[in-house]
Structure 1
Amino acid sequence: MLFLLPPSETKLDGGSGVSGLSLGDLSFPELTGVRQDVIARLTTLARDPEAARAALKLGPRQLQEIDRDLVVESSPTMPALARYTGVLFDPIDAASLTDSQWEWARRHIVIHSALFGPVRAGDAIPAYRLSHDSRLPGASLKSTWRDDVAAVLQATGEFVVDLRSEGYVALGPLGSRSTYVRVVSGDAGGRRALNHFNKKSKGLFVAALLADRPELSTLDDLLVWARMRGIVLEAGAETLLVSESVLAEPGAQRTGTGPSR
């Protein structure tokens, strides 16, 4: 089972690797040609700071992001799960993960980058700035990525739990062996989609998975694990994640539970 996350616009600087980005070492090598194309278009854009500011929707205090993009091919790299920061990734706290948690993450967590397409948690990537709605020279990111992303994820044969935002779903919609997760409130007024706690709830959900490291194959397996964890997942046309069940105090969450094989 794969858990497909959106990226974050905020990223850590730094990393290691004197030779910078190695596209050939990234997961899903079928995407190498598309990755090269998008990188070339991004670096071309970055050479025109005013055009880049508009295309990347940068404010006056964010212009250093253009410098990141200029040197994206030679910048230091770090594992993708450690590169991204922000509301979704903070609960995961990649810096504190154990070796066994990193092993599970490398096998089961995929992050959908607008620049690199899907990458696995351990893939080494540089800091960059590009979002799903950025406007690069040439074709749109949607038309660039859509078919290829859908094809490589389908080719894994894995059931995909889609935790992406709708903007990233448009860059690679999934087929029948997947479920889209929507975060809702479980208050007395019924189910209500959330914005503020959406990313945090997804981050806590992934953190719980990393704590337990269950081996899951089907949606039913996931529902059983969640029920044992006290996490409310409701499967239907979409899978609903009830925010209150993951926004509990960390001490209330159990570890080492759930189906394994």
Structure 2
Amino acid sequence: MVLVLLPPSEGKTAPISGTKLQMDTLSFPTLNEIRERIAQSLITACVLPDQEVLAILKSGEQTLPDIRANLHLYESPCAPAAQVYTGVLYEAAHLQPHDAAIIVSGLFGLTTAHDKIPLYRLAMNVRLPDIGSVAHMWKQALSGMTLSAMQHAAGSHDNVVFDARSAAYQVWPVAKNPLLTHIPDDKDDNNPWPFWTLKALNNNGRTITHRAKYYRGLMARTLLDAGTITNSQVPQYAHQMASTHGLGRPNIDEAQRIITLTV
């Protein structure tokens, strides 16, 4: 099964019932110390007056209900991450708890689709008052993380990795990370970068950002449904996805493993 790397989503569905947050039940337990530090700092920040909290978390007033939920991180019910995240990418991906996905987030660092989490609000580009940059903390914490550890946690057994993360969540791998070992490929055994990515352009050749999340979700779902595949087969699935959803013929750069849609 393909491994998919995902960002979280700003849009979330609050679990109605379920167990409370238990960090020690999450995948990647070595991250728990950092998770606890960030969670406690987030809770402390959310006690501040609304306008101060909104400024810290770089959010608008419409997000106040989610921000107030931060005060109850350890008391709120939890559900699988695949069911909590419901933004545009997740709408397209129809992510299921059993899918081989790793979600990179500001609060938890790395989780699988089946890890149980509560409603919360924290972007990766935030600086919390007492610990500083959340992104910097995760870059340091994840610097020793291997791709094989992610594959094992997510239940992925293929050499294919699709990276659907937005720029803010690309805190792993650190550039030229020696622990990011080369993944052998049936077609090109010398490709040092194993990740496939997708970008979307408008008819003027300009990059589309928000809607690109939806197309990445469609591609993620297509690859997750493909079963066991090789990197040389990814282009045919990209064409299949585009055809199924009435999109233009994608341009495939197999050397750089970039799928480009013009929409």
TM-score by length of 1: 0.76
Q: Cα gap change, 1:74/1:240 in structure 2, threshold over 3 Å: closer, same or farther? A: same
Query: 1:79–1:15: structure 2 CA closer, same or farther, 3 Å change rule?
Result: farther
Q: Tell me which amino acid in the other structure corresponds to 2:147.
A: Q
> 1:196, 1:157 → 2: CA distance?
26
Q: Which runs of 5+ in 1 are unaligned?
A: 245-261
Q: Which among 211, 219, 222 is matched to residue 231 of structure 2? A: 219
**Does the 8 A contact of 1:147 with 1:172 survive in 2?**
no
After superposition, residues 21-170 of structure 1 pair within 5 angstroms as 21-50=21-50, 51-94=52-95, 102-103=97-98, 105=99, 108-136=100-128, 137-156=130-149, 158=151, 160-170=161-171
CA distance in 2 between counterparts of 1:33 and 1:221 reads: 40
Cα shift readout 1:15-49 (whole Å, capped 9, x = no counterpart) = 4324x101111111111111111111111111113
Alignment of 1:161-200 (within 5 A): 161-170=162-171, 172-173=173-174, 175=180, 176-179=192-195, 181-185=197-201, 192-200=206-214
* Preserved contact between residue 17 and residue 77 of structure 2 (Cα < 8 Å): yes
Cα pair 1:75 1:127 within 8 Å, conserved? yes
Distance 1:3 1:153, change over 3 A: farther
> Which sits farther off after the overlay, 71-80 or 170-179?
170-179
Question: Aligned-pair distance for 1:209?
Answer: 2.6
Question: Percent sequence identity over matched residues?
Answer: 29
Alignment CA distance shift 1:55-1:234 (3 Å): same
Alignment match, 2:6: 5
Residues 182 and 193 in structure 1, CA contact (< 8 A), matched pair in contact too: no
Write the distance in 1 (CA, Å) between the matches of 2:172 and 2:43.
20
Give the match's secondary structure for 2:104.
strand
> Quick check: 2:70–2:120 contact (8 Å CA) kept in 1?
yes
Q: 1:223 Cα shift?
A: 3.8
Letter in 2 for 1:205: M
Taking a change above 3 Å as real, the CA distance of residues 177 and 15 of structure 1, as seen in their structure-2 partners, is farther
Query: Separation in 2 of the partners of 1:70 and 1:236?
Result: 47
Using the TM superposition, give the Cα deviation of residue 185 of structure 1 relative to its aligned residue in structure 2, in angstroms.
3.4
Deviation at 1:201, TM superposition (A): 0.3
TM-score (norm 2): 0.76
Give 2:106's aligned amino acid: A
Kept after mapping to 1: 8 A contact 2:43/2:71? yes
Q: Distance in 1 between matches of 2:44 and 2:150?
A: 36
Tell me the distance in 2 between the aligned counterparts of 1:90 and 1:157: 23
Structure 2 spans left out of the alignment, 5+ residues:
152-158, 181-191, 244-249
Q: Deviations along 1:165-186, whole A, 9 cap, x unmatched?
A: 1111146546455325141338
Judge conservation of contact 2:223–2:237 (CA < 8 Å) in 1: no
Counterpart of 2:222 in structure 1 is 208
- Three-state SS of the structure 2 residue aligned to 1:21 is coil
Pair 1:236 & 2:228 matched: no
